Chain A
Amino acid sequence: MNRMILSELVEDLPPVLRTGIRWELQDDGSLTIDVGEEALPGIVDHIQKKYHSWLISEHALDLRPKGGEFQLIVLLGLPKVTVPVIIRANVDIYASSFHSLTPSVPAANWFEREISDTFGLTPNGHPDQRPLVLYDDWPYGTYPLRKDFDPSRPVPRVPSEYPFRKVEGEGVFEIPVGPVHAGVIEPGHFRFSVAGEPIINLEIRMGYTHRGVEKLSESLPYHRGVPLAERISGDNGFTHALAYCQAVESLAGCAVPDRALFIRTILSEMERLYCHMGDVGGIALDTAFGTGAQMAYILRERLMQLNDQVTGSRFLRSASCLGGVRCDIPVDSKKDIQRTLLQVKLDFDDFVTTIKNMPSFLDRVETTGVLTLENARSLNVVGPVGRGSGIDRDVRRDHPYAAYDQISFQVPVYREGDVWARTRVKIDEVYESIGIIEQALDKLPSGELCVPLGEAPEGRTGLSLTETHRGECMHWLMAGKGQPYRHKVRDASFLNWPAIELAVLGNIVPDFPLVNKSFNLSYAGNDL
């Protein structure tokens, strides 16, 4: 199926786009196309229009130490195809610029600003050339992800001011919020332009938690990348670590034992459960329904204590390792999980019945913060946010990993795109997760937990996608000498943040926390 669609895709390219390209179908069925940099926007636009593809990632590589140039990698997902289309284009060292995809692919916006910040490659034709992760006080000409950048040398600060978009007119005023917020949440800056109550523009500024994860990972041996991946975004640490492990395993061609695959599935779902519980509780809290919120928070705490009982960590930390898993699920843990989930399910039923029958709650969440399908598609919004706007995609079903191909589950999709639709997706997913864990526990095969990784040949590339509770998470690796030569991480939040700017338009400012909570995105995972 993959091969048929993908070879047809190349043969279908109009002659003007086909000249000068080289393409190859890999062993795993994925398609690699090498194109000239100037042809890139045309080809991506063509595939997008004809095949309804979506942008998984656009990132750069510095191949100069290997005698090459800079390289752009564009990863596209296609409906009904389980592997991505990989498009590569070299960027001239001296020009240090490329043709921007953003005018035809809006989802590329932040990717290209990030490339501009960290590699110093200018996206020509990009409508917004402001910095994204490195701040305005970062000196010109210093690009941290280039290979000649020395991370141990301190980088001086150059005073300058970030130009926010200006909205002007009679009665228009600005509300700046953050980076230090009133609640215990991560740092980010929100600048609202309002006329009266309704929001007429929101500008989100991220980057406050930019730590330099990718550069650090490129200096760590593979096994030390696992604890780092767990700390990219704390509350979905397990799924990030899993994505990293899978990417390294694909570099080394390592076959993970069956028992480990099932345990990975179980732990992924245990993570989703406690996170979703916090999310739906947060929705209740932000509608000022404290009692309801606390019902969900009690369940969240119970699930975190279950994590602790099973793996020794409330956040499932150190449970993953390269080549398998580090912690087993023996019979008594299995019973603990089954017993706890049974009770959680009953109590969650109570919570759901309570909020579904509360008009004052529904009044706040229905028709609030609508993200239309059209906007969601053009920004390639992923995860529960996308599924709340009618995008029927889930990595667990469409690109199965771990043991998901041996388990049956539903992917809930709603079309309204409002806070309530996103909340219902999460509520339904809680039940699905419990079902997945029950099935996986029943089918849990015996056998080894972990096998040796083996060698990862230099220069090979590996891609891994997982579904965190926020949506599709990607880790892309190019192997170096015992450590990644290039490690690109893309959390679901990176795609979903720009969508908030559209979802809040026309809503009143007091509803912003509610809309933001219904997206519940990671700042640390976005900023890296």
Chain B
Amino acid sequence: MSGSDSELEVLGGQMKDRIRNVLGRSLAIREVDAGSCNACEVEVNALTNPIYDIERFGLHIVASPRHADAILVTGPVTRNMERGLVQSYNAMAEPRMVIAMGVCAIGGGLFRECYACHKGVGEVVPVDVYIPGCPPRPQAIIQGIMVALDKWQQRK
């Protein structure tokens, strides 16, 4: 997989530059599972394994929304997680961002007709960036985060 390794270096390098330009420090992200099937969590965790090793590019997955610049939300937002998501969003300091990751988070996906689900994160908290995929690959998550950084830059 040497080809994809060098692609990853390029992609990660681009993200690192953007993070430095926009924030001047690391980007802190909190992941909130709002009813995903756990495949999205597997891919977010994969970002931290030694192959991707996302921290070297300046992306830090933090333990609390209080420490986060952005929350990465997965799942269609179940009825039972709505409060948890809203509280996590409110716990973030401004300026803040919401990134909806995966088909469920974008529009409910397969679960959009379910009695216990919203039709995506946008129904509960305002979303800045959507990352498509079921689940999105680690590279796609990095791409999505770069889109979020561009948006952050425009806002400044």
Contact = CB atoms under 8 A, between A and B. Distances in A.
Contacts of A215: 114-115
B51 A151 contact: no
Given A297-B50, A524-B36, A208 B45 contact: no
Contacts of B12: none
B11 to A, nearest CB: 16
B115 A149 contact: yes
A207 interface: yes
Contacts of B37: 231-234, 237, 524
Contact of B78 (A155, A210, A228, A305): A210
A207 B61 CA distance: 25
A211 B78 contact: yes
Contact of A234 (B64, B115, B135): B135
B50 A186 contact: no
A179 B46 CA distance: 22
A187 interface: yes
Interface string A169-210: 000000000011011111100000000000000000001111
Nearest to A227: B110
A208 B113 contact: no
A314 interface: yes
A207 B38 contact: no
A237 B40 CA distance: 13
Contact of B49 (A135, A298, A314): A298
Contacts of B51: 298, 301
A317 B134 CA distance: 9
A510 to B, nearest CB: 15
Contacts of A207: 80
Contacts of A305: 1
Interface string A479-507: 00000000000000000000000000000
Contacts of A211: 35, 76, 78, 111, 114, 116-117
A13 B78 CA distance: 46
B60 interface: no
Nearest to B116: A212
A180 B78 contact: no
A213 B115 CA distance: 10
Interface string B93-127: 00000000000000001110111110000000000
A135 B80 contact: yes
A212 B65 contact: no
A235 B42 contact: yes
Nearest to B49: A297
A402 to B, nearest CB: 22
B55 interface: no
A179 B113 contact: no
Interface in B1-40: 1, 31-40
A304 interface: yes
Nearest to A182: B63
A216 interface: yes
Interface residues of B, number: 45
B116 A301 contact: no
A152 B113 contact: yes
**From DSSP, what is the main secondary structure of chain A's interface residues?**
loop
Contacts of A317: 134
Contacts of A212: 111, 114-117
B66 to A, nearest CB: 11
B38 A151 contact: no
Interface in A288-318: 294, 297-298, 300-301, 304-305, 314-315, 317
Contact of A210 (B43, B64, B79): B79
B49 A186 contact: no
A294 B36 contact: no
Contacts of B81: 179, 187, 208-209
A88 B51 CA distance: 52
A267 B114 CA distance: 30
A372 interface: no
Given A298-B49, A305-B1, A522 B84 contact: no
A216 B134 contact: no
Contacts of A414: none
A135 B79 contact: yes
Nearest to A232: B37
A523 interface: yes
Query: Could you say which of A144, A179, A297 has the most chain B C-beta atoms within 10 Å of its C-beta?
Result: A179
Contact of A151 (B36, B76, B115): B115
Instruction: With a 10 A CB-CB cut-off, give which of A144, A182, A185, A234 has the most chain B CB atoms.
Output: A234
A301 B137 CA distance: 12
B75 interface: yes
A235 B34 CA distance: 17
B78 A208 contact: yes
Nearest to A315: B39
A314 B36 contact: no
B131 to A, nearest CB: 15
A523 B38 contact: yes
A21 B73 CA distance: 52
A426 B137 CA distance: 26
Contacts of B79: 135, 155, 210
A367 interface: no
Given A144-B115, A149-B115, A211-B116, A301 B49 contact: yes
Contacts of B38: 186, 233-235, 522-524
A104 interface: no
Give 3 closest A-B pairs by Cβ, nearest first: A234-B39, A182-B63, A234-B37
Interface of B: 1, 31-46, 49-52, 61, 63-65, 75-76, 78-81, 84, 87-88, 109-111, 113-117, 134-135, 137
9 contacts: A151-B113, A184-B31, A184-B41, A209-B81, A210-B79, A215-B114, A215-B115, A231-B110, A278-B42
